[in-house]
Structure 1
Amino acid sequence: MDYSVGQVAGFAGITVRTLHHYDEIGLLVPSERTYAGHRRYNDADLDRLQQILFYRELGFPLDEVAALLDDQATGKADPRAHLRRQYELLTARIEKLQKMAAAVEHAMEAHTMGIDLTPEEKFEVFGDFDPDQYAQETRERWGDTEAYRQSRRRTASYTKEDWKRINQEMDAVHHRMAALLAGGVPAGSEAAMDVAEEHRRCITRAYYDCGHEMHACLGEMYVTDERFTATYEAIRPGLAVYMRDAIAANKARHTVEPGAATPR
Structure 2
Amino acid sequence: MGTKRVVVTGASSGIGAATVRLFRERGWDVVGVARRADRLAALAAETGAAVFTADLTRQADVDALRDFLAASGPVHALVNNAGGALGLDSVENSSIDDWAWMFEINVLAVKRVTSAVLPLLRAAIRAGGGSADIVTVTSIAGHVAYLGGGGYNAAKFAAHALMEVLRLELNGEPIRVIEVAPGMVRTDEFGLVRFGGDEEKAAAAYAGVPNPLTAEDIAETIVSSVERPAHVNLDLITIKPVAQAAPTRIARGPLLPKP
Fold-level similarity (TM above 0.5): no
Task: From the two aligned structures, give the one with the greater strand fraction.
Answer: 2
Higher relative contact order (CA 8 A, sep 6+): 2
TM-score (norm 1): 0.25
TM-score (norm 2): 0.25
Task: From the two aligned structures, give the one with the greater helix fraction.
Answer: 1
